[in-house]
Each structure stands twice: as C-alpha cells, then as structure tokens.
Homo-oligomer: A and B are copies of this chain.
C-alpha cells in the first residue's frame, strides 16, 4: 500500500489562527491525541521565538509516542551573521527533536523587500542554517515559504532556494503555498515540475485555505507525486487556516487507498478531531467533511428515502469508516451504535440487550432530545449512567437556592451585582450560606462551593475554568432553552459538565452540581448517608 506522511502543525501554524491558543498542558494532550491517531510528524512549536514552546519541548522529552516524531520549527539565521551565533537556532537545537523544520524564503519579493537582503545572502542563510542543525544531529525538513508565488515570479530562483537547502543537508523539501491564493491546477503543475527537477528527493506540500482549496491543492500535489502533506487537524491557521488534515486523511484513506496514519485505522478520525476541538475550545462546524455532526446527516425526503434503501445512494462512504454516523434529520432516528460505544466506556461489561441498557438508552435519547449534548460533557454523561444504574449515592441535596440581582446594586463599592443564597442538606445536617458575584451564575457558583467546602474540603482546590452558554431554540427568545457547559479543574485534571433548562440559572445549577459530584466520585470520597 502506498503511504503518505501526515505532518500536523496544529500546535504551531494552527496556533496562529484567530482565537486559538494552547497552554503547555493543552499541547501535551494534543500531541498524545495526534500520536494515537497515527500522524507521522507533529510540529509543536517555535522554541527559538517563544519561551513557552521551549518549556513544552523540555516536558515533551518525557512523552512516549507510538507513531509520531516531534518537530521543532524555526527560521533561518538572521542576515549577515553566523548560524552558530544565532540565538533562535541555538534554542532550536536545545529542543532536541529528531526532526527540525527550517523555513526560508523562496520568493524574491520577500528576500529583497521584507527581510531586505540580497538573493545570494538568502541562499547562504538557508544553507548555513540547515547545515548547523543537521550537524547537531537532527534531520531537517526545509519549508520553502512562498514557494509557489516565488516559482511564478522566478522559477529558477525558487528552485535555487531548494538546492541551497539540499546543499545544507535537508532531507525533505516542503513546498509552501503560503498565501493560499493559487488554484489547485497551478499547484499541481508547479509541484510536478519541481519533482521533475529534483528527482528522488522527498517533496511535501503545505497549503492554506484562502480560496477554499487548501485540501484540493494538497491532494493535487499528492497526485503530482508529493509524499508528505502538512496541515492542521481541524484546519486552524493564519487567516482562513491551513489545509484541514482530517479532510486530507479522509480523502487519502477512502479515495486514494493510501495509508497516511502509520497503519492505524481511520475509524478514530472523528473522535480524535472532536477531542482536539474540545482542547482548543473551538466548535467543529456541522458540515465539516468526514468528522462534522452533519457530515452524514440527511434532511431532504428523497435523500432519506434513498439512503435507507441503499446507503451509497447519497453517501460517498460508509460513515463508520471515519468513526462518524448517519443521522436522519426528518425522522429523528438517533444513532444507537455510537451511544452504546459511549456507555461501554463507563460500564464495559453491560450487555447491549439487557433491559437496563435499553432503558438507559431511552433516557439518554430523551435527554439529547431535550438539548443535552454529551459530546463535550463526558462527566455529566458518566453521572447519568451511574444514576440510572444506581451506581451512585448523592453527596448533598438542595433545599433551595435564591438569586437576587439588582441595578443599581445594594453595595456600590462592590463589583458584584448579584447575591445568591444556597441551603443544602448533607448527611442529615443542613447548612446555608450566601455569596456575591458578577451576575447570578457567578454568585450561585460561589455560594454552592462555599456551603459544601465545610463537608468536603477537597472542593477547595476546585475552580471553574470555562463557562459556555448556547441558546438552543432561539425562536422562543428570552424564554428559549439554554445549554450551559462548565469546565472545572482541581489543578491536575479537568472535567466538563452540562445543564439544560429554559432558565439559565437552573441550567447552570445542573452543571455546577454535576461538576462537584463528579469530582467527589473521582476522588473516591464516601458520601455522608442521609
């Protein structure tokens, strides 16, 4: 089977997308996910220009990866200096990755007008820098930035930059369509001509999506002979983003029968993509190819009729091939298979024909119909199952809460605008307290944790890290249903819980109390008997 290496730059080029940022913890999680998926190379940062990235690479040395090789990314040396004296290159070496990506300029315009040096010096910068890195023991991929625009401007000079990289010892030449404005037909032609000019040298493609053709250009380059595809799993990146690697993987695996996941199955594609989206706190658009929630959703009556008679009548592949599922929107038939898989994560030995399983599935479907969505709220999902299977005793019960907000607020010296009163019962004892906050949910959150900390001191370490609200059926206006997602952490682990209600306070209450119960279960704390 023909193979193509995927090179994921979610953590480097991807983090140049608007609204995208990763902590060091996030980065480690993304690396693990991409490695499990079967990505060959993970470009994880620019240690030369970013101290946070340098810290990441120090910590990443401890990671045990199955498939992926970590790659550090950096620029060629500065003009008129020595590679050995260049602080960025020295930091790159200190990241100690097996592979280093060095980018250099392949378009004369950038050489003379942006970095403002001579064309000859630019060639020397590429050659010297790569030589310095290869001598340190790392393999170097050369990212020929603006290669395609440079080629159209002056193909001989563009190729000279590739030759300089080879002279420096680069193993692979990556042709970058940096501005993302070229038609796939042009990308195909220039890639083919370049491969012809450098026979036997591995060629990669790095495309952007500024005209919506990042994936098509990548595939066109593969058809022309490229053997490495760079991109980002969800298409994050500068401006319109990079080529979406989930889409590229789907096409390579299902259309071109190419192995691009180091032998791993494509079936993990949807779950891994959604996991990375959660880490990045980004929503995957429903219509995203292969992995989106709507990618195999059928709405038109004739489509539903056709797909029920013969799936391939309206589906280009079986959604299970990429770990996704068919959804029939008009008939509201839910996918049982995916739900069963999810239940098995919590209770591995539950038989799928057991009446308890059936009634649990009914409850979950009912909750999803009401607007619950457990994709991003595994912890609440876990609690639903535990409650249903009586694997769960409550840690506290609510007697009542009350939130009071006013404008102007009673205390003009406080940032708060709301107060909340919470009364709970814990093991026969009851307790009441109050707290203030900016907005009713903030006040309720403060009060609930304050009243419970005296019974469960471990909660002192818990705090919220994310709070999301989505209005579900906006036609109902201010009486619409809202879905609240809350992410909590104790400093080590994070977990996400969900609540749905027409009342945003009640929805938040559900998510807040789930968060606390999940934590107490996870710690193995015994609930006080009521």
- A247 and B316 contact, CB distance less than 8 A: no
| Minimum distance in angstroms from A487 CB to a CB of chain B | 8
9-residue interface stretch from A36-44, A347-355, A463-471: A463-471
9-residue interface stretch from A55-63, A394-402, A450-458: A394-402
A366 within 8 A of B: no
| Minimum distance in angstroms from A399 CB to a CB of chain B | 9
Bound CA–CA A482/B475 (angstroms): 20
- Given known A-B contacts A240-B292, A305-B114, A314-B179, A506 and B417 have beta carbons under 8 A apart: yes
Q: Which B residues touch A179, using CB under 8 A? A: 312, 314-316
Bound CA–CA A294/B179 (angstroms): 14
Q: Which B residues touch A300, using CB under 8 A? A: 16, 238
Bound CA–CA A147/B477 (angstroms): 43
Bound CA–CA A315/B19 (angstroms): 20
- A183 and B219 contact, CB distance less than 8 A: yes
- A502 and B439 contact, CB distance less than 8 A: yes
Interface size on A, residues (CB 8 A): 118
A474 within 8 A of B: yes
Q: Which B residues touch A169, using CB under 8 A? A: none
- Given known A-B contacts A251-B183, A478-B441, A178 and B238 have beta carbons under 8 A apart: no
9-residue interface stretch from A136-144, A257-265, A282-290: A282-290
- B309 and A418 contact, CB distance less than 8 A: no
| Minimum distance in angstroms from A411 CB to a CB of chain B | 14
- B465 and A475 contact, CB distance less than 8 A: yes
| Minimum distance in angstroms from A230 CB to a CB of chain B | 16
- B402 and A405 contact, CB distance less than 8 A: yes
- B478 and A437 contact, CB distance less than 8 A: yes
- B240 and A289 contact, CB distance less than 8 A: yes
Q: Which B residues touch A250, using CB under 8 A? A: 211
A509 within 8 A of B: yes
Q: Which B residues touch A310, using CB under 8 A? A: 109, 113-114
Within 8 Å by CB of A181, from B287, B303, B317, lies: B317
A220 within 8 A of B: yes
Write the A362-376 contact mask toward B (1 if CB under 8 angstroms, else 0): 000000000000000
- B437 and A212 contact, CB distance less than 8 A: no
- Given known A-B contacts A315-B179, A478-B467, A480-B467, A405 and B209 have beta carbons under 8 A apart: no
Ranked nearest first, the 10 interchain pairs of A and B with the lowest CB-CB distance are A181-B316, A216-B216, A464-B477, A439-B503, A442-B478, A438-B502, A212-B247, A402-B406, A18-B294, A212-B215
Question: Contacts A110-B306, A238-B300, A239-B297 given; 20 further ones with Cβ under 8 A?
Answer: A18-B287, A18-B293, A19-B294, A113-B313, A184-B216, A211-B255, A211-B289, A213-B216, A238-B303, A240-B294, A400-B408, A407-B505, A415-B502, A437-B479, A439-B479, A440-B503, A441-B478, A445-B478, A467-B476, A469-B482
